[in-house]
Amino acid sequence: MTEAQRICLIFYLQPIALGAWLPHIPGVQTTLGLTNSELAIALVGAPVGTLTTLMIAGRIAGWIGAKRITLIFYPVFLLAMLLPFMATTQWLLMAALALVGGSMSILELGLNVLADDYETRTHHKIMSRAHGCWSFGLLSGTLIGSAVAGLALSPLVAGIAIAILVQVLVLPVILRLPLPPEGQSAKPEQRGFRLPHPVLLGVCFFTFGTTLVEGAVADWAAVYLRDAFAANPGLA
């Protein structure tokens, strides 16, 4: 397996646990007895965790490097993905999703830096392919979660199985990735705050819009299908 293939495989495996969570949102809502409004507040935990962690994620990447980030935060993220299934209240669900968002943001930053470092060293473009593999990983996880929901299996047990399997598969792949040469990632330290370039700001607004739609569908599609069409958990 080439280095590029290893990176793409790491991208593919990462979102499987996330995808497996999405079909279970209606079930968790029912178990906790949450209204749609209460569920909406709980789901805010994930983006809050993501945004706050991204403030320091870049510094973490600079300190320990992308390979070490994936080694450390892959198991952290997989463990965090189990917490929503264990939540007993709205606020514990919100806190669990905040931990999911925080660990996921650092891990995904590490994945993107791995792909970027590879492109810089080899002048071989793999970023689009890697993100395509991520999308297929999310789809795979969603199909697994749908099967678990449709068969009325325990989502926590299924989540534990996914976490163990993914970690077993990904660990040797990450270990075989090369460490970047010493000092390769070093950049001049910059302090203070400044607004992004207008072009980058435009990209930010564009991304905000697409992510708003994507997040709404991911979080609410199964709930809507259940409420509006009485769809069973597997179908929804």
pLDDT for residue 183 = 52
pLDDT for residue 59 = 85
The token pair that represents 117 in the structure block = 């470092």
E-strand spans in the chain? none
Contact (CB, 8 A) for 223 and 40: no
The token pair that represents 79 in the structure block = 């463990």
pLDDT for residue 199 = 93
10-residue mean pLDDT profile of the chain (236 residues): values are 95 97 95 96 95 87 89 97 97 98 95 94 95 97 95 95 97 90 53 80 92 92 94 89
| pLDDT tens string 180-199 | 665 554 454 556 677 888 99
The CATH code belonging to domain 3-178 is: 1.20.1250.20
Domain segments of the chain as ranges? 3-178
State how far the Cα of 163 lies from the Cα of 21, in Å rounded to an integer: 12
Dihedral angle sign, alpha carbons of residues 142, 215, 202, 100? negative
pLDDT for residue 182 = 55
The token pair that represents 75 in the structure block = 């198991």
CA atoms within 13 A on the CB side of 89: 3
State how far the Cα of 92 lies from the Cα of 98, in Å rounded to an integer: 10
pLDDT for residue 64 = 87
| pLDDT tens string 82-119 | 999 999 999 999 999 999 999 999 999 999 999 999 99
pLDDT for residue 184 = 52
Nearest Cα residue to 73 out of 62, 61, 84, 83: 61
State how far the Cα of 41 lies from the Cα of 30, in Å rounded to an integer: 15
pLDDT for residue 189 = 57
